[in-house]
Amino acid sequence: MFKSLAPPEYLATIDREKCIRCKRCIQNCGWGVYSWGGDKIVINTSKCVKCLRCYHYCPEEAIEIVDNPTKFKNNAYWGFHNIRNIKRQAETGGIPLTGMGSDLPYTILFDNLLIDACQVTNPSIDPLREPMELRTYLGKKPSSVELEKGKDGKPRLKDRMPPQIKIEVPIIFSPMSFGSISLNAQKVLAHAARECGILMNTGEGGLHEDLLPYKDNIIVQVASGRFGVNPEYLNAGVAVEIKIGQGAKPGIGGHLPGEKIPLEVARTRMIPVGTDALSPAPQHDIYSIEDLRQLIYAIKEATNYKPVSVKIAAVHNVAAIASGIVRAGADIVYLDGFRGGTGAAPSIIRDHLGIPIEYAIAAVDDRLRQEGIRNEASIIAAGGIRSSADAAKALALGADSVAIATAALITMGCTTCGKCYTGNCSWGITTQRPELTARLDPEIYADRLVNLIHAWTHELKEILGALGINAVESLRGNRERLRGVGLDTQTLDILGVKPAGR
Amino acid sequence: MFEIDAAGIYYRDLNARIREALAKGEKEVTVRNVNGQYYIGDGLSGNATIVLEGVPGNDLAAFMDGPTIRIKSNAQDNIGNTMNAGKVIIEGNAGDVLGYGMRGGKLHILGDVGYRIGIHMKGNKKQSPTIIVGGTAGDFFGEYLAGGLLILLGLKPDGPIVGDYLGTGMHGGTIFVRGEVDKKNCGAEVGILDPDEDDMKVLKNALTEYCADLGLDIKEVMSKKFKKLVPVSSRPYGNLYAY
Ligand code: SF4
Ligand code: SF4
């Protein structure tokens, strides 16, 4: 067989002195790196993706995964990924796929923004002593409210409030479909969402019946493939989301590879086993804002007016598009930034299309305010939220809530190896192979995810306390409490943020 | 039979009234003076029959789950969007994007239809959608087809029966066309076959109901040769990627 001219990225190595030949690495590796050679473990390092499953499960700490020192000569211009992709393309003629968000060294605006704090003149608040309000309501807010006296003599709202979704913390889980991730991974999300009073999102693969008990914490998604969408599905969750685009692959559809379509997934999606699940690039009934409006209201009619969210990728013209979405009747605009993760995307798309979420939040929030329609919809910001600090900055830039996916998967063991599209995830997350998915015990891992949300909740409260604010409401769109470090004037202008020192 | 006069009524109120009538147990509802109201039958379940007089608006029978709707005139776009069960009979022409992502039930159209019909329909052993068009169809007929049955009859064509990109990206399901199909009008993913005996049974079955619904002669409809279009691969884009 022709040996690939793209050298392996990693070298899986076993310390033969420490190894007791228990073969656990063979069992644990989803990629088939290890096999039994009769008297010792044989290593095929070209298959190694550095997901570190074997490392964690080797009882003797005999395994080490090192970056291949024989990669290519260091070159500041021709990066490893450039050369490797060319070699792979020369060998296959295909489009290199990738998983997770872009890992290229573009400027990370979150890391150039710092949050204010109180000193002397304005007292900070101790969140351990004082109540801190993080509860958030997603949905259309009326531009004014009128009160009238109810029968019991107490004041009440004159008009009916548009439907609101209550979340206890402004952090929810991004859509990840059954198919792209395992049912057990979805269960982890559902479990944790219920426990934390937040939301998970089915993604576009339909709703497996095992998730029905969690329906009060679920958003169901309608995307171009319309997988699993029927009236029952639309009515199952607290809201319906129309997926137009995804930050990792704006403007293109999705091809869930046939390897990830076993019977259960095929059944839930209503397609043949082993075909690629094709999500066309556009929704073929939406070619304009008017068409979008038509689908939004078709869904509202079918659900007795549940809130509808519209998810788009952050692209150059995001502000105008978001304005159109709000005017089309959406209750929530979900913005997914350039760094957003994916189960499978062509790396050329993931790494070169779209804009970072920080710009998108600021631009959309500005635009909706200028047009006087910011109250008409909530903004959810996603695409690379790595910590509660990123979340706080996103909120201060103007988001109502953030959504996280990669961070949630990391609590399940993910090491961001980026090979989700192969369907071999050794952690049982982005795979449908039963021997691998069985490893992900939903209850155990849900606890870890709940821990993460609780930890970020505490951190958010600490940040609010330091800001002297006792409700997240006062942080939202409060860009005065952000400062830019090392950002040029124009970027600061777009973000609506002053430079540090001013 | 229950009657509703739709003249001058906003779609939301009209649909609420239809839903109310069905909830009360009406089995036959006739709506007169329909004039472009959207979303008629959207998300409705049950087995009632709704007869529409006048031209209904877009997204008729979207997400519908059981009822039968008979339209006594032309109809517009997006009929049967993601429909799950039931039937829509159209005694005239209809517009673009019919049966998008349809999962079950039937669309029986007497006349011509526009572009993008039956995109990404899907089906399995339990349920499978059918669209039958009596006239001609535009481009992208059966694009991304993943399951179900599309039949195009071209009963009285003045020109070509179907536009370009027929069955592009098709990876499941079956398309039957009455008459000849030129490979150059089809997507690369489509194989053109002569129907065998079993296929003819499927056709006859579907068309008998269609003809009964629309007062056509089944013998006459079956008198011409059909072509059967199937996907050549269940993974049309399987070689597009480097792993
Ligand atoms: S898991 Fe560790 S000890 Fe067991 S066979 Fe593999 S390298 Fe050796
Ligand atoms: S989910 Fe699995 S395959 Fe994907 S990046 Fe994480 S560890 Fe790797």
Tell me the CA–centroid distance for residue A426 and ligand 2, in Å.
8
User: Going by DSSP bridges, is the β-strand pair A482-484/A113-115 parallel, antiparallel, or unpaired?
Assistant: antiparallel
Return the closest-CA partner of residue A228 out of B79, B67, B84, B59: B84
Higher-pLDDT residue of B116 and A264 is B116
Cβ atoms of A188 and A445 within 8 Å: the answer is yes
* B62 to A255: CB separation less than 8 angstroms, yes or no: no
> Using CB atoms, which residue from A97, A230, A278 is nearest to B241?
A97
A88 contact residues in B (CB cutoff 8 A): 242
Cβ atoms of B167 and B230 within 8 Å: the answer is no
Tell me the CA–centroid distance for residue A252 and ligand 1, in Å.
42
> Please, which residues have CB within 8 angstroms of residue B200's CB and are 6 or more apart in sequence?
B226
CA distance B94 to A313: 33
> Please, which residues have CB within 8 angstroms of residue A323's CB and are 6 or more apart in sequence?
A367, A368, A371, A373
Return the closest-CA partner of residue A192 out of A220, A164, A211: A211
Amino acid at A480: E
Topology classification of domain A10-94 = Alpha-Beta Plaits (3.30.70)
**CB contact residues (below 8 A), chain B span 50-69, against chain A:** 58-59, 62-65
**CB contact residues (below 8 A), chain A span 259-298, against chain B:** 266-267, 269-272, 274-276, 278, 280, 284-285, 294-295, 297-298
Q: Would you mind telling me the total number of residues written for chain A in this entry?
A: 502
CA distance B157 to B112: 9
A81 touches chain B (CB under 8 A): no
Give the CA angle between residues A304, A381, A494 to the nearest 5°: 125
Two tokens, residue A421: 């599209």
Cβ neighbours, 10 Å, residue A131 = 9
Two tokens, residue A322: 């978001």
CA distance A303 to A299: 6
Q: Which domains does chain B have, with CATH numbers?
A: 93-240 (2.160.20.60)
User: What is the pTM for the complete model shown?
Assistant: 0.93
Amino acid at A344: A
Residue ranges, chain B, pLDDT below 70: 238-239, 242-243
Write the CA distances from B133 to A296, B137, B138, B177, integer angstroms.
28, 8, 11, 10
Tell me the CA–centroid distance for residue A487 and ligand 2, in Å.
33
> Using CB atoms, which residue from A255, A274, A295 is nearest to B234?
A274
Q: What is the pLDDT of residues A149-175, one digit of tens each?
A: 988 889 999 988 999 999 999 999 999
B162 touches chain A (CB under 8 A): no
* A278 to B169: CB separation less than 8 angstroms, yes or no: yes
* B43 to A301: CB separation less than 8 angstroms, yes or no: yes
ipTM over 0.95: no
* A222 to B241: CB separation less than 8 angstroms, yes or no: no
Mean pLDDT across the stretch A459-480? 96
Backbone conformation region of residue A274, classed left if phi is above 0, alpha if psi is from -120 to 50, else beta: left
Two tokens, residue B95: 């517009």
pLDDT at A1: 45
B236 contact residues in A (CB cutoff 8 A): 276, 278
A60 Cα nearest atom in ligand 1: 3
pLDDT at A273: 83
Q: What is the pLDDT of residues A333-383, one digit of tens each?
A: 999 999 999 999 999 999 999 999 999 999 999 999 999 999 999 999 999
A2: pLDDT confidence band, cut at 50, 70 and 90?
low
- Helices and strands (DSSP H and E) totals, chain B: 3, 12
Give the CA angle between residues B92, B96, B98 to the nearest 5°: 80
Determine which helix (DSSP H) or strand (DSSP E) holds A222, and give its type and residue range.
Answer: strand A218-222
A478: pLDDT confidence band, cut at 50, 70 and 90?
very high
Q: What is the residue extent of each domain of chain A?
A: 10-94, 136-144+164-499
Cβ atoms of A103 and A415 within 8 Å: the answer is no
Chain mean position to CA A268: 22
Among B11, B15, B122, pick the best mutation site for testing chain A contact (most A Cβ within 10 A).
B122
Determine which helix (DSSP H) or strand (DSSP E) holds A186, and give its type and residue range.
Answer: helix A183-196
Q: Is the CB of A13 under 6 A from ligand 1?
A: no
CA distance B131 to B102: 9
B171 contact residues in A (CB cutoff 8 A): 271-272, 275-276, 278
> Using CB atoms, which residue from B39, B119, B243 is nearest to A284?
B119
Question: What is the average pLDDT score of chain A?
Answer: 94
CA distance A313 to A383: 9
Return the closest-CA partner of residue A224 out of A208, A206, A243, A249: A243
Cβ atoms of B6 and B36 within 8 Å: the answer is no
CA dihedral sign of residues B132, B136, B138, B139: positive
| DSSP state letter for B99 | T
**CA-CA-CA-CA dihedral for A465, A467, A468, A474, to nearest 10:** -100
A282: pLDDT confidence band, cut at 50, 70 and 90?
confident
Task: List, chain by chain if needed, residues with CB within 6 Å of any ligand 2 atom.
Answer: A 51, 99-100, 409, 414-420, 425, 427, 429-430
pLDDT at B94: 97
Measure in Å the smallest separation between the Cα of A472 and chain B Cα atoms.
37
CA distance A276 to A254: 9
Residue whose CA is at the smallest distance from ligand 1 atom 6? A25
Residue whose CA is at the smallest distance from ligand 2 atom 7? A414
Q: Give me the architecture of the A136-144+164-499 domain, per CATH.
A: Alpha-Beta Barrel (3.20)
B84: nearest CA partner in chain A: A230
* A276 to B63: CB separation less than 8 angstroms, yes or no: no
Return the closest-CA partner of residue A351 out of A363, A341, A359, A343: A341
Return the closest-CA partner of residue A375 out of A331, A336, A334, A335: A331
Measure in Å the smallest separation between the Cα of B194 and chain A Cα atoms.
23
Cβ atoms of A36 and A42 within 8 Å: the answer is yes
Give the CA count within 13 Å in the CB-facing half-sphere of B154: 20
Residue whose CA is at the smallest distance from ligand 2 atom 8? A417
B144 contact residues in A (CB cutoff 8 A): 278, 280
Specify the residue for token string 């079993």: B198
Q: Which residues pair with B226 in a beta bridge?
A: B178
pLDDT at A269 over 90: no
CA distance A189 to A178: 12
